[in-house]
Chains A and B, each alone.
Chain A
Amino acid sequence: MSTTPLIHVVDDDPSMRTALLRLLGAAGFEARGYSSTGEFLLQPLPDRPGCLLLDLRMPGPSGLELQAALLQKKIMLPIVFLTGHGNVDSSVRAMKAGAVDFLTKPVKRDVLLDAVERALARDATQRAAREETDQLHVRFASLTERQREVFDRIVAGKLNKQIADELGIAERTVKREREQVMAKLDANSAADLGRLAEVLRRSTAK
């Protein structure tokens, strides 16, 4: 897995697309161009950090429609919108749906590169968060049945004695299982466990 980010440029105007690819290339980014939303969706998305530079208005499905489709597919690629003539309505829709920025052509270099940087930063954050969650799931999967029961009750705020009573096991056993859970999930306290539980709940609820 390459760690250098890849910027996807979707713009139906070949001239604009070429210019953007050149600029991004000169600014040291790796970029790839697509002439329509369809073309972008048909290509397999490489597992690399990156972002999407998306023209709002194109023949066929528009940029906003691509944004909606990606959300639905849980592809968390940050999007910077570029438009020849934006209106309030479409910019609000784009931002609400999680766009990093909504830029109007012609766009200044600094503004564009800044937006791209922010998108990549967000992507990095998202990727990091996702990695943490993934690890958490792996660790969580290593818990035994008994340990999961103990974990659920610790997170629910119950004391060792209460847990022992509920599970019909010795308090000492609860204590030992608890240490095991803490070690496996790399947690230091009950509060830490609660945070992890929240992360797990949210990621499985999606």
Chain B
Amino acid sequence: MRWLGVAPALMAALVLGCIALPLRAAEEEARVLMLYGLDPYLPPFLAMDKAMRESLASETGRRVVYFSESLDSQRFAMETLEPELAALLEKKYNALRIDVVVAISRTALDFFGRHGERLWPGARVVYVGFLGYEFKPSALPPGASAVLSILDVAGTIDIARRLQPGARRIVVVSGVAEVDRRAEQQAREALAEPDERIPVEFLSGLPLPELEARVAAEPPDSIVIYLAQFRDRDGRPYEPHEVLRAIVKTSRAPLYGAAESMLGLGAVAGSVASYESRGRLVGEQVRRALAGVPADPSRTVLAAPNRCVADARALQRWSLDERRLPSGCDIRFKDVPIWRQYWWQIGLTLTIVAGQAMLIVALFAQRRKRRLAEQAELAQRAVLARASRLALAGELTGAIAHEINQPLGAILANADAGDLMLDSGTDRREDLRAILADIRRDDLRASEVIRRLRDLLGKQKFERTRFDVNEVVSDLESIMRAEAQRRGVVLEIRRAPETLTIVGDPVQIQQVLINLVLNAMDAVADESEARRAVVVSVAKGETGAVLAVRDRGRGIAPEHRTKLFESFFSTKRNGMGLGLSITRTIVEAHDGRIWAESGPDEGTVFQVELPLAIANGTPSPQPA
């Protein structure tokens, strides 16, 4: 549409050009007509076209406008359509000057030869040919240049024979379209070389199903060369790649192709010209033509270089050794080149991954450090709790000694009595038996006291078990009673009628209890006899087991209440001020809470509430 709008301006420029700017219009816009003899959408053409346009765009200051026409000769018979096609093109390009015609394929060049002068007067021709061997420079119109590629059947066969030194047969596949025939002709010429000793068979224009069956029947030690098949003998048109894709699937023998686009579709290797380099050569010729550079007779025909290209995947499929390829062969689709191809994306990704990894490592290190710190804190707390238990035990020495010496005293007295009975000479067997039974019982009693003490004092670590809070009270009852007697305090113990199971460390809960009882006894030490009483009770509260220790002392002074559970706060002369602070730490580690209620002359009650264990699945207290 654009050129229609431009045309009147061009006319005006021509009129004015006689006076002032004769070259201006021509320099402003270059027009290039791409004249395809075949389907312009074939992959080789697309690749070449792209490279050509890029090359032109980067090297020409002028704006280039492209036109495109296709003769489509492989599908339609030129002979019958040509007059009408020429008439149509004449009508289309009547008022349009074309600077360069790029004639792609021999059909297009021939068409230009017949009609170019009339349709596109003054246009220079750049010919793009595919079967370079048969080209004769005399076929070119004056001022024309040619970019030729060579269907290097000989080179391709050479590569095939290197890869398959023991090959017994060569099969050449081609079609029967004009272009097919010419390719086949070249192949025949190449294979007619005297040193080719192995039999060659040509499969020309077989309908696809038949061709597939035929190729599939070839033994693995055959070489199959695929030239191209645009049409079969029944006149059915094909897209050459479609044929290659079909036969490559079932072929047991390696397939070779002489065009770049065939590598990657399954062909093993071939001596091919790159479309890109060909496209750049075309671009250069077009640029020269536009610039008005006179055709250089010596460089008129340019052949894009052929080189060995192989497909690593196909080599692997047919178990061919890539080291047999000629040196410098371009092996494509290898696994390795991926990181070369995408080096910066991969590099960026790796950098990000590495960064994340470092971040993760740093976070882990931080977490570990924090865990170690937490463990150290736990260990420290355990040590402190134990130290506090040892201090408690110190206060209880009298009671403990009493509890152990009582059975020991009985044992000794019993043993002495037995001794004396034996000395007396009379048979007092029944008495002796009773004595031994008592000794045994008292011995166990003493060792039980020691076991409890070991539990209380020996243990360092936090252990988590399920236990009844009542048991904790029972375990300590004898020692607490002994201590109460020593101090002249009446101790009352009220257990809960039901089992109150909690989860935690029984030794630490014992510690809590001892601490509170000793505190309570201290609180009533200086009271009259009637008030020297401490009540320990276990009961089921609304949300857990409640352990209460009540005394009838003077209560807690209001100014001390807020500091009650703080470390190093004590109102006792010899107190370290750790007891209640550790008690609270332990209670909180069991997900419980501790509080005190106190009124003047009412005494004080300390209450500890601990969550009851759920039947299955237990809450998990933190070790203290």
* Size category, B interface: 35 or more
B27 within 8 A of A: no
Contact call B410/A16, Cβ cutoff below 8 A = yes
**B428 nearest CB across to chain A (Å):** 8
**Cβ contacts under 8 Å, A20 to chain B:** 413
Q: Flag the segment in A103-111, A117-125, A147-155, A193-201 that touches B.
A: A103-111
A23 and B485: CB pair below 8 A? no
Contact A19 B414 (CB under 8 A): yes
In whole Å, how far is A105's beta carbon from the nearest beta carbon of chain B? 3
- B window 380-410: CB within 8 A of A: 397-399, 401-410
Report the Cα distance A55→B515, complex, angstroms.
Answer: 28
Judging by beta carbons under 8 Å apart, are A26 and B420 in contact?
yes
A57→B441 contact, CB < 8 A: no
Whole-angstrom distance from the CB of A26 to the nearest CB of chain B? Answer: 4
Count of A residues near B, CB < 8 Å? 27
User: Contacts of A106 on B, CB cut-off 8 Å?
Assistant: 405, 408-409, 411-413
| Cβ of B435 to closest chain A Cβ, rounded Å | 7
Contact (Cβ within 8 A) B441 A22: no
Name which of A18, A19, A57, A109 has the most chain B CB atoms within 10 A of its CB: A19
Q: Is A46's beta carbon under 8 Å from chain B?
A: no
A15 contacts which of B416, B442, B481 (Cβ < 8 Å)? Answer: B442
Query: Quick check: is B486 within 8 A (CB to CB) of the other chain?
Result: yes
Proximity bits, A101-137, B CB within 8 Å = 1, else 0? 0001111110010000000000000000000000000
Q: Which residue of B lies closest to A20 (CB)?
A: B413
A 22-74 contacts with B by CB, 8 A = 22-23, 25-27, 57-59, 62
Q: For B482, list chain A residues within 8 Å (CB).
A: 57, 84
Give Cα distance in the complex from A179 to B401, angstroms.
66
Q: Which chain B residues lie closer than 8 Å to A87 at the CB level?
A: 398
Q: How far is the CA of A22 from the CA of B431 in the complex (A)?
A: 9
Does B421 count as interface, using CB distance less than 8 angstroms? yes
Name A58's contact: one of B398, B421, B485 (CB within 8 Å): B485
Q: What is the 8 Å Cβ interface bit string for chain B, positions 418-446, against chain A (1 contact, 0 not)?
A: 11110010000001000100100110010
* A25–B406 CB distance below 8 A: no
Task: List the A side residues contacting B414 at CB < 8 Å.
Answer: 19, 22-23
A16 to B486, CA, bound (A): 18
Q: Which residue of A lies closest to B428 (CB)?
A: A26
Asked whether any CB of chain B lies closer than 8 Å to the CB of A13, the reply is yes
Within the complex, the shortest CB–CB distance from A59 to chain B, in Å, comes to 6
Question: Bound state CA distance, A16 and B418, in angstroms?
Answer: 14
Q: Is there an interface contact between B413 and A19, defined as CB atoms closer than 8 Å?
A: yes
Given contacts A15-B410, A62-B485, A84-B406, 8 further A-B contacts (CB under 8 A): A13-B410, A16-B410, A19-B409, A23-B420, A27-B420, A57-B485, A106-B405, A109-B416
Residues of A whose CB lies within 8 Å of any CB of B are 13, 15-16, 18-20, 22-23, 25-27, 57-59, 62, 82-85, 87, 104-109, 112
Binding site for A on B (CB under 8 A): 397-399, 401-414, 416-421, 424, 431, 435, 438, 441-442, 445, 481-482, 485-486, 488
